[in-house]
Amino acid sequence: MSTMTNKCDGRKVSKVRRSSSSVEEDSGESNIGGEGHLKKGPWTSAEDAILVDYVKKNGEGNWNAVQRHSGLARCGKSCRLRWANHLRPDLRKGAFTEEEERRIIELHAKMGNKWARMAAELPGRTDNEIKNYWNTRIKRMQRAGLPIYPPDVCLRVMHGNQESVNVGTLRDEANQHDDLSQTDTLDIPELDFKLVKVCPGLSYGPSICDIPESSMVEMSSDSSHGYNHMFPVMPPSKRLRESDMQYGYLDSCISDTVPIFEQYGDYTCDKISDHTQLSSPCDPILNTSDQFHGDDTYGSHATLNGNTSSSVPLPGAMKLELPSLQYFETQHGIWGTPASPLPSLESVDTMIQSPPAKPSPSDPVSPERSGLLEAIIYQPKQLQVANNNSLQATPNDCVRKEVKISTMKSKPECDEQGGPYFPLDQSAASVATNYTSISMCLVDAPQSVETIQDHNIKQELGTQYPAYVSGKKENWNQIDFTRPDALLDLGWYGSGIDCDDYDGDRFLFKDAFSPFLGQDPDG
DNA sequence: AAGGGTGACAACCGCACGAAC
DNA sequence: GGTTCGTGCGGTTGTCACCCT
């Protein structure tokens, strides 16, 4: 039992949660009437009957009048929710079907956390139901270190977007203004870095999922679609029901249609998991940045978004824990073919729970402290530094870079406010961009990537490259991945660079990651 | 078998926003 | 321009079922 402020009646009320169904025995006098004592908690069948009767007579809407006219001791909002989520005659109860699940995933990939809109696409399902399903799924995937979006959905969405992009109307279904064509103007998401919050509470636990979702939201210019599009990897629970799941993509899904980064990312994670001696999955990226020789790459789409975004050349994220294209068991029949099992979840757990590297007292937002997100986002700046032949980042560099980032003219994500929103790419950009300024200064990572990546990763990377990583070498170096639109030029959406040049791109991708892998790009 | 831990789910709250008045 | 209402969504919490010890 907990005491909460009841916004409906503005008083503290005792909150007793019960089963979701109506509480028969609780249909006493306290539920009805008593305008000053609005009831909370589970609905009784009597209340349901009253509400249903009222709606039948008066129709939906004007919910605050329900209490006044029906004597129901519920605030209008509660009535609306009860009706919408439980009493509506067209509700479809029961578990989501596979088709519905797939549809939800697709819709989410397209529109993000637009639960109501998603519900509109799924007759009989409520936004709350979908939201709960999705959140549960996210948690499950995070725990398992699996991608939020299956590759086929990513591809479908990307293809769908591609067409829009090509016509300059990368437009969300419901968004009628703004589009990525504007983003293509090379504007960078406009972010108010004053609002970027450092999360001192971020504990060392180098995974995106460790970062409070609220922090993600705060970091994002549009909180409505922040973390869900990330590519978080949650420390697997010690006891994971999905432990018996199969991971089919590793063998079957790694194809030219599957972004290599997910594969690599998960693979990396898995390998790291196998090497539990690693103190931190995050550290390597921090020190290997100077091994990169790219331009202002990374960030943006490249970072935190599920399959697609993580597929972007974001070696850091990849190196860290971005999960691969693995699916939990219920998805097998849909997307994956069972294949290589993951390393034990315990090993992953060990990795994640391993003691942090020495945090720098002067660096409260060090990736070492704040985890994967910072590390991932930090990567672009490291690359900038590297690109500037400043393999030895200095505090001055930090200041300089921060100023640069802070003064970037950027374009906000266009969701309701502005236009298209693509979960597979946008939020990552926001978060990445937002965090760049605070994470870029964290350059003193002591470990080298080789220490954790091991040759296995090299092999993996050396043999497979993302088909969408296209373009010429110089293009690669010229891409500014801190810009949400950068990847459009990379063929991220199939636009810009000719996608037919995939084969030619492999060397590019390899080159980009060779330093990170301790390989000779030309070797 | 019992108790504790955990995950999945349901339901609600708080806040923000827009439309209507 | 202010208020009311409805809506959307993130976040939180309670309940239940399952699993493990």
For C14, nearest residue by CA–C1' is A17
Query: In whole numbers, what is the pLDDT of chain A averaged over residues?
Result: 45
Total count of domains within chain A: 2
Q: Which nucleotide is nearest to A218 (CA to C1')?
A: C10
Closest alpha carbon to A161 in A453, A504, A420 = A420
A181 band by pLDDT with thresholds 50, 70 and 90: very low
- Inside any domain, residue A403: no
DSSP code of residue A470? -
For chain A residues 188-227, those near strand C by a CB cutoff of 7 A are 213-214, 216-217, 223-227
Mean pLDDT of A273-289: 33
- Inside any domain, residue A189: no
Residues in chain A: 523
- Inside any domain, residue A186: no
A109 band by pLDDT with thresholds 50, 70 and 90: confident
Nucleotides, chain B, CB distance < 7 Å: 6-15, 18
Mean pLDDT of A328-340: 36
Residue A317, token pair as written in the block? 């994220």
Q: Measure Cα distances from A366 to A9, A188, A211, A439 in Å.
A: 45, 24, 13, 6
- The CATH number of the domain where A78 resides is what? 1.10.10.60
Mean pLDDT of A47-60: 80
Distance from CA(A94) to C1'(C20), angstroms, rounded: 29
Residue A37 predicted with pLDDT over 50:
yes
- What is the span of the domain harbouring residue A130? 93-159
Q: Residue A190 and residue A177: Cα distance in Å, rounded?
A: 17
Q: Which nucleotide is nearest to A65 (CA to C1')?
A: C5
- Inside any domain, residue A22: no
Ranges A88-102, A358-372, A380-394, A436-450, most confident:
A88-102
Residue A276, token pair as written in the block? 């539990």
Q: What is the pLDDT of residues A290-319, one digit of tens each?
A: 333 333 333 333 333 333 333 333 333 333
Mean pLDDT of A10-31: 37
CB A151 within 8 Å of CB A262: yes
Distance from CA(A192) to C1'(B16), angstroms, rounded: 19
- What pLDDT is stored for residue A157 in this prediction? 66
pTM of the complete model beyond 0.85: no
- Inside any domain, residue A51: yes
Q: Which nucleotide is nearest to A82 (CA to C1')?
A: B11
For C20, nearest residue by CA–C1' is A239
Q: What is the pLDDT of residues A375-434, one digit of tens each?
A: 333 333 343 433 443 333 333 333 333 333 333 333 333 333 333 344 444 333 333 333
For chain A residues 4-63, those near strand C by a CB cutoff of 7 A are 4, 15-19, 60-63
- What pLDDT is stored for residue A143 in this prediction? 67
- What pLDDT is stored for residue A246 in this prediction? 33
Residue A339 predicted with pLDDT over 60:
no
- What pLDDT is stored for residue A376 in this prediction? 36
Q: Measure Cα distances from A427 to A113, A228, A420, A434 in Å.
A: 11, 9, 12, 10
Q: What is the pLDDT of residues A194-206, one digit of tens each?
A: 333 333 333 333 3
Which of these three, A159, A177, A211, is where a domain ends?
A159
- What pLDDT is stored for residue A161 in this prediction? 52
Q: What is the pLDDT of residues A133-151, one digit of tens each?
A: 887 777 777 666 777 677 7
Distance from CA(A344) to C1'(C21), angstroms, rounded: 20
Mean pLDDT of A20-33: 39
Q: Residue A100 and residue A97: Cα distance in Å, rounded?
A: 5
- Inside any domain, residue A305: no
Nucleotides, chain C, CB distance < 7 Å: 4-16, 19-20
- Inside any domain, residue A70: yes
**Residue A228 Cβ under 7 A from any strand C atom:** yes
- What pLDDT is stored for residue A386 in this prediction? 38
**Residue A115 Cβ under 7 A from any strand C atom:** yes
- Kindly state whether residues A81 and A97 are assigned to the same domain: no
Q: Residue A162 and residue A492: Cα distance in Å, rounded?
A: 8
Which residue do the tokens 């760049």 mark?
Answer: A436
Concatenated DSSP letters of A155-197? HHHHHHHHHHHHTT----SS--S--HHHHTTTPPPP--GGG--
Mean pLDDT of A333-359: 35
